[in-house]
Chain A
Amino acid sequence: MPKIALFVTCVNDVAFPSTGIAAVRVLERLGVEVDFPEAQTCCGQMQYNTGYPAEAKPLAEKFAGDFRGYDAVVVPSGSCGAFVRDVHPRLLGADDPPPVYELTEYLVDVLGAQDVGAYFPHRVAYHPTCHSSRLLKLGDRPTRLLRRVAGLELVELPGAQECCGFGGTFSVKNPDVSAAMGADKVAHAVESGAEYLIAADNSCLMHIGGTARRSEAPIKTLHLAEVLASTADSPYGASA
């Protein structure tokens, strides 16, 4: 039985635990043994990308220590996954990090799964967040998984490749441009006719969802893991 360590990410831990829980459910359903190294905290991306590499380095070191010895680390976040995989080795120099997979990479590339036995009877659009598409190059992995979800209708998102405007501290350092980008993303999501906008990054979804709620736009946001965790027996929203 394959065994992985889940890196849930600090944002998911505190603000979106349901995404972490969903990732555990999907992986276990597919016969993966999931461990959660409890010492884990944060990857340091915010510090690094805001211009504080010295403050990011202790977190990269801590991450390496917390996950040492595991065969694989799975992250339900494209952005944190890319940061750990691309930037940590640069910060730490030569180390021997365990392979890090974003959730859909692990499902598709390692488990060879397409149909994960999910059921989600809703119309959805998929937003390929910038770091999951341009840094991780997830390509069509997420939509391949979504297309096999029973009951799900996948509609096209206009301007899908465009950034939502979150950008970490960009969202508060350049709030006007960030908000203008967020408003356009929400407008496109509404235009798509979807009920849910799905993505592999909760930080982007927090920005898009927060913009949608403030403007009372008819679109909900949801992490991909929660769609994949939803089944006919235990559909999304039925229980916590």
Chain B
Amino acid sequence: MKDVYLGMPSFPEAARTATKDERLRANLTRATHTIRDKRAKAVTEIEDWAELVEAGKAIKDHTLRHLDEYLLQLEAKVTEAGGQVHWARDAAEANRIVAGLVKAADGGGDQIREVVKVKSMATQEIGLNEALAAEGVAAYETDLAELIVQLGDDLPSHILVPAIHRNRTEIRDIFRANMARYGRPAPEGLTDAPADLAEAARLHLREKFLRAKVAVSGANFMIAETGTLVVLESEGNGRMCLTLPETLISVVGIEKVIPSFRDLEVFLQLLPRSSTAERMNPYTTMWTGTAAGDGPRTFHLVLLDNGRTDTLADTVGRQALRCIRCSACLNVCPVYERAGGHAYGSAYPGPIGAILSPQLRGTASEIDASLPYASSLCGACFEACPVAIDIPEVLVHLRARVADAEPGHRAERAAMQAATYAMTHPAAYRAAEAAAIKARRLLPPDRKLPLGPAKAWTETRDLPELPKQTFRQWWKENHR
């Protein structure tokens, strides 16, 4: 994945800083609670929501089981409709392909120096903007929140609302300071009223839409049966990018394919209600290859693996590939709410990021090895997920993978083994119990302890004083 995420501190370290940032906490709590409540309402409106979730899950599982067939069918159909399909094993290959396509695109005599972008997770995942910049091509984000992130030299912190960590005063300051650097400057005397901010973005982006020769997008769904790609969005910027430029390049993860047009019926209900809490999103754009006299004249589809095939090989972990990137799990997650999106060190924050990043990237880095533990296993994510991904189950599964692989977990394994030994050997168990009760403490007497897990507990919490006798002793004396 992206270079900017390499060498990220572990999750607990990054989260420590975030929990102390009061403005961030306030921004996140306000935003996540609002959308959380709206989603809950939008979902209860549909009587057969549980059946829809089952259907979404079943369609995705079926497709993943036959992914090879559906991808080949998709390739054939896209090619038939006038598009060109490219296969990218990893991020570097995908970036190389896109850069090559941009340079080879027809700039009407001029060399292409810029592209407009539709909000896309796959291109964030592979760090496409940075890769294009290295080739002398500027990639302009056109989604409002992505624009805020880009203008602020920032990183996205949410799947749906990448600038969720910013409030409107911060956004006004970013527009005022940086819009000029990227094109049309912010209007004089810009206020932080939402309508003014939206208008400033509209004016800034319009000249880019009108000038662009090449657009880059992702896709929410790809339909194998027809070769159709589908993008759902709210602002209309996507529609502009997908229709105005001469060349369209879409970078899409291989797990986004679904078998037939009919299957969309399920996902067009699940996705908007789960993500923006809307009954229907304002803009749904679908295209099949190219069409004479309408829309882009050249269409390229770059199919991205980048760790997905490895993920598919894991029978427990593969359910993460069902994800439709709605972000409901982020919005209900108490850990995300307090740690913020950046602490997850990837384009995919929150619960889905905690199970996806360590699978796509492996668990060798500090951040990836810490992500499976970034959860209290409260299960709010599983409850909200529209394709029933059992995120706690995958987290626990990945913890075992980390514990098995990392030499750093030797001490912990020894402690777990010791506990299991004591718990399966009655004499050892009674001795440990008796020692604890005699001292009337679980730990030595200091209120705050200096080391390890004990310190981590007593820094903010008291431990209970132990009672005079265990339940077992009481039972013996009073009951038997």
Contact = CB atoms under 8 A, between A and B. Distances in A.
B461 A210 contact: yes
Nearest to A62: B424
Contact of B461 (A14, A162, A179): A179
Given A49-B396, A52-B413, 10 more contacts: A8-B472, A46-B416, A47-B416, A51-B402, A59-B423, A131-B379, A171-B456, A173-B453, A177-B339, A210-B464
Contacts of A13: 433, 470-472
A182 B461 contact: yes
A148 B327 CA distance: 41
Contact of A15 (B16, B379, B400, B467): B467
Interface string A149-167: 0000000000001110111
A36 interface: yes
Nearest to A208: B461
B93 to A, nearest CB: 33
A38 B460 contact: no
Nearest to B11: A174
Nearest to B376: A167
Interface stretch (A17-25, A107-115, A117-125, A228-236): A17-25
Instruction: Decide if the interface of chain B is mainly helix, strand, loop or mixed.
Output: helix
Given A59-B423, A180-B19, A48 B376 contact: no
A168 B377 contact: yes
A49 B382 CA distance: 16
Interface string B355-394: 0000000000000000011111111101100000000000
B47 interface: no
Nearest to A20: B471
Interface in B436-480: 436-437, 442, 452-453, 456-457, 459-464, 466-467, 469-476, 479
Given A51-B396, A51-B403, A59-B424, A173 B373 contact: yes
B396 A36 contact: no
A18 B457 contact: no
Interface of A: 8, 10, 12-18, 20-21, 24, 36, 38-39, 41-42, 44, 46-53, 55-56, 58-59, 62, 130-131, 134-135, 161-163, 165-183, 206-207, 209-211, 213-214
A181 B380 CA distance: 14
B412 interface: yes
A46 B419 contact: yes
Contact of A135 (B379, B419, B469, B475): B379
A181 B376 contact: yes
B339 A172 contact: no
Interface residues of B, number: 65
A175 B470 contact: no
B378 A163 contact: yes
Given A17-B467, A51-B396, A52-B413, A134 B19 contact: no
A38 B378 contact: no
Given A55-B417, A134-B383, A174-B373, A210 B400 contact: no
A179 B459 CA distance: 9
Nearest to B425: A41
A214 B373 contact: no
Nearest to B429: A41
Interface centre among B423, B433, B472 (most CB of A within 10 A): B423
B456 A53 contact: no
A32 to B, nearest CB: 14
Interface in B174-229: none
A38 B442 contact: no
Contacts of B380: 130, 134, 161, 163
Given A18-B467, A175-B12, A177-B339, A10 B426 contact: no
B479 A36 contact: yes
B334 interface: yes
Contact of B466 (A14, A183, A213): A14
A17 B457 CA distance: 22
Contact of A44 (B15, B420, B422, B470): B420
Given A14-B436, A21-B474, A38-B475, A47 B420 contact: yes
A181 B472 CA distance: 33
Contacts of B417: 55
Contact of B375 (A62, A170, A210): A170
Contacts of B398: 51
30 contacts: A10-B423, A12-B471, A14-B470, A15-B442, A17-B470, A36-B472, A38-B475, A38-B476, A44-B420, A51-B402, A51-B403, A52-B413, A130-B380, A131-B379, A165-B334, A165-B376, A167-B376, A170-B377, A171-B376, A172-B452, A174-B12, A174-B374, A175-B12, A177-B19, A177-B335, A180-B19, A206-B463, A210-B461, A210-B464, A214-B460
Nearest to B432: A14
Contact of B338 (A42, A175, A180): A180
A83 to B, nearest CB: 11
A175 B402 CA distance: 20
Contacts of A41: 422-424, 426, 429
A95 to B, nearest CB: 17
Contacts of A209: 462, 464
B399 interface: yes
Contacts of A12: 471
Nearest to B17: A176
Contact of A8 (B12, B404, B464, B471): B471
Contacts of B334: 162-163, 165, 181
